[in-house]
Chains A and B, each alone.
Chain A
Amino acid sequence: MPDRDTQEPGPQELLRVEGVVKHYPGVVALSGVSLDVRAGEIHALLGENGAGKSTLINVLSGTTQPTSGQVLVAGEPVQLRRPRDAQDLGITTIHQELSLAPELTVLQNIFLGRELRRGPFGRGLLDEHAMSARVQGVIADFGLTERDLRRPVGEFGALTQHVVEIIKALAFDARLVILDEPTSGLAEEERVMLFDHMRRLRERGISLVWVTHRLDELYGLVDRITVLRDGRTVATTDTTESTPADLVRLMVGRKTTSLGVIAEGRTPAERPADPRAEVLRLENVSRRPVLRGVSLTIAGGEILGVAGVAGAGRTELARAILGADRIDGGRILVDGEPVRIRHPRDAYRLGIAMVPEERKTLGILADFPLDKNTTVSRLGKVARLGLMLDRRRERAVTRDYIDELGVRTTGAGERIRNLSGGNQQKIVIARCLFTGPRLIIFDEPTQGIDVAAKAEVYRLIHRFVAGGGAALVISSEIPELLHVSDRILVMREGAIAGEVRPDLRGDDLEADERVSAEIMSLAARSVA
C-alpha cells in the first residue's frame, strides 16, 4: 500500500474533480462536473442514464480526455492521458462488463499484461511464485484459496469475478477503486457479499466510487453521495442526511433543460382520441431465462413505452416480437390472428418493423449508400419481376424520404457512414417506413444523437402514430418515455413489473416527477 499523508486532521481528500466539461461533436456529455472523494470512503455516484456517469468514469480511468476542467489526486493536478496513467496513480476502474479472460486462471488474470518475471533484467520467464506471493495476503480476506488461483476464471460466478478484479486492484496498490454498477448481474446473496467486500476495502483505507441505480443499496454502506444530472453535479450529500425521495428528486430534477426542446413537440391531441383496433397482442410470451410470461397489447394510434434497467429484458422482448429470437412459450397475435414469426423477414411482411438499438452496429449498413439502406428490408418492392432491382426507383424513393424526414445529406448515393448519428437514424426509420409497417419498434431510438435530432425523432414517431400506426418505444431515458408514451410498461428481470400512465398534458412537472419515481421503484426490486 502506498503511504498516505495522515498528519492533517479530518478526512483526507484523495480525488477532486473540478468543473470537468466534455464535448463530443454535437453533444455536451459533461457540462461541469465536480466530485471529491475522501480517503477510505465509499462514495456513490447516482444519476439517470445519460446524466454523464459513464463519461465521468471514462475521464477518471484515462480513456477519455476532458475538454476542460481538472482532476486532482491527493491535491496534485494530474493528466490522465491513457488508462495506464490512471493505474499508475492508483485509480482502478472495474467496468460493468468485466475485462477478464475466462480461459486464463485467476492468477493469470490478476497479472494480465503486468506479469512479474524473473531472470536477467526482469525480462525472463514468468515468476508464478512471486505473483502468488504478492496476492497471498489478500485472497483469504475475499474468500479465495491458494488453489482457486490456478483455476480458470470462467469456472467462477459473477461475484468471484468481481473479487478477482478487486484483488487485481489491490495487487497493484490501488488507492481508489471505481465500481461501475457492479451489482446488476448478481443475485441477492451475492450482492450482500459484495457489500462486505466493499467494506473490507474501505477498512484497508481504499476509497471506492460506486456507480449504481439502486437507491435501496446505499443505506448502511455508502458514506457520501454525489448526484449527476444532465452532465452536471447537482448535489453531494452525506448518506445519513438524505432520503430516497430526495435523491429521486435530485436525479429526475425539474426537467426544464432536457425536456425544453421536447415539450413543444408533445402533441397528444393529434392522435386519434378513440382507441383503434389492436395491432399486436402478446400472451404469456417467454424465452427463458430472458423473457418470462410477457403479455401486452398495442393498438393503432398508440405509443407504448417500455422502461427498465439494463438486462431487464427490453431488447429481448423487441427481438422476440421481430422474430430475431425464437420464443419458447406463449402466443403472438397480429390483428387478433395468431402468427408465427420465425425471422425478421416474416415480421416485416406482417407489418412489424424495428429501429434497433446500437445504431452503428445493428441499425445501419455502414458501407451501403442511403438508398440501399432504405430499401434493404423490402427489396421486392423495388425489383422488376422480383428479379432486377430498379436503381432509379430506389434513388427516387430514397430522395422522397430524405425530403420528408429532413435528412441532411449530399444525396441518396452518399454512404450512410458519412452522416451524423441523427441523420443515420432517420434513414433507419425511412427503411422501416418503406416496408409499410403498422407497428414500429423503436429500441433506444435517440441513443447517441444530439438534442435537436432527438426532437426530430420524436416528431417522426408522433407523426407515424398520428397516421394510425402503433409504436413500441424502448428507452433507458425516463424523460423520453414520459414525453412520447401513452402508457409505459416497466420490465424487471424478464417480466412486466407494472404499467404507469404519464401525464399527457406535458406541463405538469410535479406529475412527471411522480411518475418517474414510480417507474424507478417498479424497475428496481424494491425501494427503501
Chain B
Amino acid sequence: MPASRRLARAFAVEGVAVAVIFVGMVVFFSLASPFFLTGGNIANLLVETVIIALLAAGMTFVLVVGGIDLSVGSVTGLSAATTMWALMSGLPLPVGLLVGIGTGLVAGVVNGAVIALLGVNDFIVTLAMLSVGAGLLQVVTSDVQLTGVQSDAFAWLTQGSVLGLPAPVLIAVVVVLVLEFVLVATPFGRSAYAAGIGPRAAELAGVPVRRVRFGVYVLSGACAGGAGVLLASKLNSVQSGLGSGYELTAIAAAVLGGISLAGGRGSVWRAVLGAVFLGTLGQGLQMLGVDPLWFTIVTGLSIVAAVALDRVVGRVALSRLLGADRPTGGPADPSTPLRDAALENEDPRSVQPLAGSAREARTS
C-alpha cells in the first residue's frame, strides 16, 4: 500500500484529524509557554475538564439515541446546591453525595418520562428543564448562604490524590470506564445504538426504544448530578447561575469527539477526548495570558475549525480511497441520479461504505 494511501485511510477515520489538531495544539502551547506542561498548571483547569468530561459522557448516550439534553448545565448547578445544603444540614458525606447525584437523577427521570412516554420533543423538554433547574437554583441560593462545608473528605474529592494521581481524574477514569462498558458491551448500550440508527426498524425488531430513551436521560441526569457534587467540592460555595453554559460545552466536547448529532454512533471515550481538548485549549489560552473574556469566543471558533477540518480532510481522504477502490469502467451510469432507486435496489457503491454519510449528518 503506498504511503499516501495509508495516510488517506488513517484520515478517513473520523476523529483522527481532531486528534492531530489536539497534538499540534499541545506542542504549540508547550513551545509558547514553558510552564504549560508543568504539573501545577494542569491542576488548575483539571476539575473543570473532569466535570465537562462527565457531562459529555452522559450526553454521549443521549446523542447516540438521536436525542439531546440541554438541561445538564443548570442541573449540575442545582445538584451542587443540594449537595451543599445536605452537608450543611449535618447529613453524613455519603448521604450528601447521594442527594447530589439523586437531584440529577430526578431531573433525568422527569426529562426521560416526558420525552419517552409522552412523546414531547426532547429539545423543548430539556430546554424547559434547563430553565426550571436554573430557577430552582436561584430560589435555593436566595434563601440560604450555601458555603463553607467543613469536611476534608468532601474536599478530597477534588483536591486529594491517590499515589500522585489527582482524585478527580481517578473518579473520571472509573466513571468513564464503567459508562464505556455500558454503552459498548451491554444489551442496554446496544439497544441505544439500534434506537439511534433506526428507531422504527429497532422497534419492529423488538428493541424497547421508549425504555432505552427514558434510560439515557436518567443516565445523563445522574452524570450531571455527579458533576454537581464535584463542582460543590471544588468551590465549597454555590451561587445562582452556577453551571450555566456547561450543557453547550458538553455537547461541543461530544461533537469534537466525532459523535453524530443524528444518532447511532459515538463512544464515551471519544466525548471525553473532546472534553480534554477543550480543557487543554482553555489552559493554553490562560498560560498565554489571553484575556479570559476571549476564551469562549476562541473556544467557539476552534470547535468549528476543528470539526470543519475533520470533515474536509476526512472527505478528501475518503474520496481518494473510493477513487482508488473503484473498478474502472464499471457498469454504473454516471448520469443516473442516486435517488433513482424506484425498485429499492441500491448500488452498494452509491452508499458510502466508510464514515461518509455520518460525516454529513454529524454537523447537521
Residue numbers of A with Cβ under 8 A of B are 24-27, 29, 54-55, 58, 63-65, 67, 81, 322, 324, 343-345, 347-348, 354, 356, 358-368, 372, 376-380, 383, 386-389, 415, 417-421, 431, 435, 447-450
> Secondary structure at chain A's binding surface: helix, strand, loop or mixed?
mixed
Q: How far is the CA of A344 from the CA of B195 in the complex (A)?
A: 14
- B207 to A55, Cβ gap below 8 A? no
Given contact pairs A379-B187, A379-B191, A448-B345, A365 touches B336 in the complex (Cβ within 8 A): no
- 7 A-B pairs (CB sep. < 8 Å): A58-B342, A344-B204, A354-B204, A356-B204, A368-B197, A388-B185, A389-B187
Q: Is the CB of B206 within 8 A of A64?
A: no
Segment 137-189 of B: residues with Cβ below 8 Å from A: 185-187
Which of B185, B193, B206 counts the most A-chain CB atoms under 10 A from its CB?
Answer: B206
**Cβ–Cβ contact A26 & B202, under 8 A:** no
Q: Are B343 and A345 in contact (CB under 8 A)?
A: no
Task: Determine the residue in chain B with the shortest Cβ distance to A394.
Answer: B190
Given contacts A343-B208, A348-B206, A362-B201, contact A386 B345 (CB under 8 A): no
Q: Which of A24, A63, A362 contacts B204 (CB 8 A)?
A: A362
Chain B interface helix/strand/loop/mixed:
loop
Residues of B within 8 A of A448 (CB): 343-345
Residue contact A365 to B202, C-beta cutoff 8 Å: yes
Tell me if B264 counts as interface (CB < 8 A to partner A): yes
**Scoring B residues 271 to 282 as 1 if CB is less than 8 Å from chain A, else 0, what string do you get?**
000000000000
Docked-complex contact A360 and B205, CB < 8 angstroms? no
Quick one: given A29-B342, A29-B343, are A344 and B186 in contact (CB under 8 Å)? no
Q: Is B53 an interface residue (CB 8 A)?
A: no
Please, which residue of chain B has its CB at the minimum distance from the CB of A390?
A: B185
The reply to whether the CB of B293 lies closer than 8 angstroms to some CB of chain A is no
Residues in B312-353 with C-beta less than 8 Å from chain A: 331, 333, 335-336, 339-348, 351, 353
Query: Are B186 and A383 in touch, CB under 8 angstroms?
Result: yes
Distance between Cα atoms of A63 and B193 in the complex (Å): 34
Which one of A26, A389, A419 lies within 8 Å of B186 (CB-CB)?
Answer: A389
Contact of A376 among B207, B340, B346 (CB under 8 A): B207
Question: Is B194 on the interface with A (CB-CB < 8 A)?
Answer: yes
Please pick, from B187, B198, B347, the residue contacting A383 in the complex, using a CB distance under 8 A: B187
A414 to chain B, nearest CB (A): 9
Q: Mark B197-216, 1 if CB is under 8 A from A, else 0.
A: 11011111111100000000
Contacts of B347 in A (CB 8 A): 25
- Whether B270 sits at the interface, judged by CB under 8 Å, is no
Asked if B203 and A376 make an inter-chain contact with CB atoms under 8 angstroms apart, the answer reads no
Q: What residues of B have a CB within 8 angstroms of the CB of A415 in the complex?
A: 353
Closest chain B residue to A363 by CB distance? B201
Contacts of B311 in A (CB 8 A): none
Q: How far is the CB of A457 from chain B (nearest CB, A)?
A: 14
B residues near A322, Cβ cutoff 8 Å = 204
**Tally of B interface residues using CB under 8 Å:** 37
Residues A324 and B203 in contact, CB atoms below 8 Å apart = yes
Q: Are A25 and B345 in contact (CB under 8 A)?
A: yes
| Alpha-carbon gap, A389 to B188, bound state (A) | 10
Q: A345-B208, A361-B198, A420-B348 are in contact. Are A368 and B193 (CB under 8 A)?
A: yes
With beta carbons under 8 angstroms apart, the residue of B200, B339, B348 that contacts A419 is: B348
Q: List the B side residues contacting A363 at CB < 8 Å.
A: 201
Indicate whether B265 reaches chain A with its CB closer than 8 angstroms. yes
* Distance A55 CA – B342 CA, assembled complex (angstroms): 7
Q: In the complex, which residues of chain A have a beta carbon less than 8 angstroms from the beta carbon of B341?
A: 24
The answer for the CA separation of A418 and B346 in the assembled complex, in Å, is 9
Q: Kindly state the separation between the CA atoms of A81 and B340 in the bound complex, as whole angstroms.
A: 12
B200 interface neighbour in A26, A361, A418, Cβ under 8 Å? A361
With A376-B190, A388-B185 in contact, do A362 and B344 touch (Cβ < 8 Å)? no
Judge whether B204 and A367 touch: CB under 8 Å.
no
- Least CB distance, A23 to chain B, in whole angstroms: 9
Cα distance, A387 to B197, chains bound together (Å): 22
> Which residue of A29, A377, A435 has the most chain B CB atoms within 10 A of its CB atom?
A377
Having A365-B194, A367-B358, A448-B344, one finds 9 other A-B pairs with CB under 8 Å, namely A24-B343, A27-B345, A65-B335, A359-B344, A362-B201, A380-B187, A389-B186, A417-B351, A419-B348
User: Interface centre among A358, A363, A379, by most B CB within 10 Å?
Assistant: A379
Q: Is the CB of A356 within 8 A of B201?
A: yes
Give the docked Cα–Cα distance between A229 and B201 (Å).
32
- Judge whether A345 and B206 touch: CB under 8 Å: yes
Please name all residues of chain A whose beta carbon is closer than 8 Å to the beta carbon of B343 when the two chains form the complex.
24, 27, 29, 55, 448
- In the complex, which of the residues B190, B203, B264 contacts A367, with contact meaning CB atoms closer than 8 Å? B264
Residues of chain B within 8 A (CB-CB) of A359 are: 344
Q: Which residues of the other chain, A, contact B333 by a CB distance below 8 angstroms?
A: 65, 67
Residues on the A chain within 8 Å of B340, using CB: 24, 63-65
Query: Which of B193, B345, B353 is within 8 Å of A24, CB to CB?
Result: B345
List the A side residues contacting B191 at CB < 8 Å: 376, 379
A344 to B211, CA, bound (A): 13
Nearest-CB residue, chain B, relative to A54 = B342
Q: Is the CB of B190 within 8 A of A389?
A: yes
Can you list, as one digit per residue, whether each of B286-315 has a CB less than 8 Å from chain A (1) or not (0)?
A: 000000000000000000000000000000
Q: Distance in Å from the Cβ of A302 to the closest Cβ of chain B?
A: 23
**Nearest chain A CB to B348's CB is how many angstroms away?**
5
Asked whether, in the complex, the Cβ of A387 is within 8 Å of the Cβ of B186, the reply is: yes
CB neighbours of B206 from chain A (8 A): 343-345, 347-348, 376-378, 435
